Amino acid sequence: MNFVVHELVLLATKTKYGRRVNKWSMRVFGEEVARFSQRDLSMEAARIAQRAAQRDFAESVRLVEAFVIMEAKDIFESLAGKYPMLRTYHLDRGSMAEMIRKVMDRKGRSLESLRGLLVEALGRNIPETGELLDAMEFVRKRANKALKKKWSPARLVSGVRDGTERELGDLLVVSENADGRVWIMAIIESKSFSNVTDLSTHGDRKVGQHLWDWRRAKTRGVSFEGRHYKAQDVVIEPVPAAAWGGGAYVPKKKSAADRVREMSGYYTEFIGFAPQEMSVEKLGNLADQGIQLEYWPWPFDKNEFDRFQKDLTAAVDKALRR
């Protein structure tokens, strides 16, 4: 029966009868609707028939999404008074809405992923990130001048994926060249207590997430903001461990001078953004990979963050279930 409806609608849109029905519906629904949705039935026959035979649920989902995005603004207002860190780190209604939209865009729509997005959003606005960006911009200008290259201004990007559409890093500093290459100048991975070991191990191997990011970028390329860079066009190399005087593991943020000094080539800084309560043992593991990994402790209290995440998750969940 479904097939018959589809075929009939498809065919009838092209007939005189179809045109007569269309005129009739304009009379029934009035000029306002007619102006709003005026269309040539015969041109849209396939779509109308498809819709008639099988309704498109995905669009409904998008409308739900729109509603929740709208709700996100109210959610922000209700939480901002209770959690001053939101304003401290310049989170606003818009960024909250975008965060929720990203959760809804993801497969499974797990609210667990809110945690990563939250840390990423807060991480964008901590002083360390600004200083990193300034230092990378200095390095970029220096490279352009010394090598007569045309690298674009260093900037932060998120939502980066590898060539197989898997996420790569939480926040990256990148610079693009007119010749089609992208230089990944820094990769920031945000971690919480539950997954902080990802920074230092992958299964049984002492290869942390940054090294996996590096390997995937080198073999699969990267995509962001609608553009894909093939593997051979991705410039990404860990800063040599020896470049930092203190060894591989960097227990705190580097100074701008340190960064500028060690970024003497097309290198990439690897940074882990994790709770300040990380144990000495876990911190020590970071150094065992043989690469240089910088550790940025969360500037906010873990308990407060946990409470905030719980409240936010509950609010979003409520909006979704309404």
Nearer to other proteins, 44 or 112 (CB): 44
Evaluate whether 189 touches 272 at the Cβ level (below 8 Å): yes
Nearer to other proteins, 36 or 204 (CB): 36
Straight-line distance from the first to the last Cα atom of the chain, in angstroms, rounded to the nearest whole number: 34
**Does 280 participate in binding other proteins (rule CB under 8 A)?**
no
**Does 5 participate in binding other proteins (rule CB under 8 A)?**
yes
Nearer to other proteins, 49 or 139 (CB): 49
Which two tokens mark 294? Answer: 């910088």
Interface residue with other proteins, options 33, 43, 147, 314 (CB under 8 A):
33
Nearer to other proteins, 32 or 179 (CB): 32
Evaluate whether 301 touches 247 at the Cβ level (below 8 Å): no
Distance of closest approach, residue 170 Cβ to other proteins, in angstroms: 18
- Cα–Cα distance, 174 to 157 (Å, whole number): 7
Determine the longest span between alpha carbons in the chain, in angstroms.
Answer: 83
- Cα–Cα distance, 262 to 69 (Å, whole number): 43
- Cα–Cα distance, 74 to 318 (Å, whole number): 13
Looking at the DSSP bridge assignments, the partners of residue 182 are 176, 234
**Does 2 participate in binding other proteins (rule CB under 8 A)?**
yes
DSSP H helices in 81-208: 85-88, 93-105, 113-124, 127-147
**Does 160 participate in binding other proteins (rule CB under 8 A)?**
no
Nearer to other proteins, 120 or 294 (CB): 120
Nearer to other proteins, 107 or 148 (CB): 107
Nearer to other proteins, 225 or 281 (CB): 225
Distance of closest approach, residue 169 Cβ to other proteins, in angstroms: 20
Distance of closest approach, residue 60 Cβ to other proteins, in angstroms: 4
- Cα–Cα distance, 295 to 278 (Å, whole number): 10
Burial code (b: 16+ CB inside 10 Å, e: under 16) for 297-314 equals bbebeeeebeebbeebbe
The stretch near other proteins (CB under 8 A) out of 26-34, 176-184, 188-196, 261-269 is 26-34
Evaluate whether 65 touches 46 at the Cβ level (below 8 Å): no
How many residues bind other proteins (CB under 8 A)? The answer is: 63
Build a one-symbol-per-residue string for 34-73: x at contacts with other proteins by CB under 8 A, - elsewhere. x-xx-x-x--x--xxx-xx-xxxxxxxxxxxxxx-xxx-x
For residues 69-108, which are near other proteins according to CB under 8 A?
69-71, 73, 92-95, 97-98, 101
Evaluate whether 239 touches 263 at the Cβ level (below 8 Å): yes
Distance of closest approach, residue 232 Cβ to other proteins, in angstroms: 31
Distance of closest approach, residue 5 Cβ to other proteins, in angstroms: 6
Neighbours of 26 (CB within 10 A): 15
Which residues in this chain contact other proteins in the complex, by CB under 8 A?
1-2, 4-5, 7-9, 11-18, 20-22, 24-26, 28-30, 32-34, 36-37, 39, 41, 44, 47-49, 51-52, 54-67, 69-71, 73, 92-95, 97-98, 101, 322
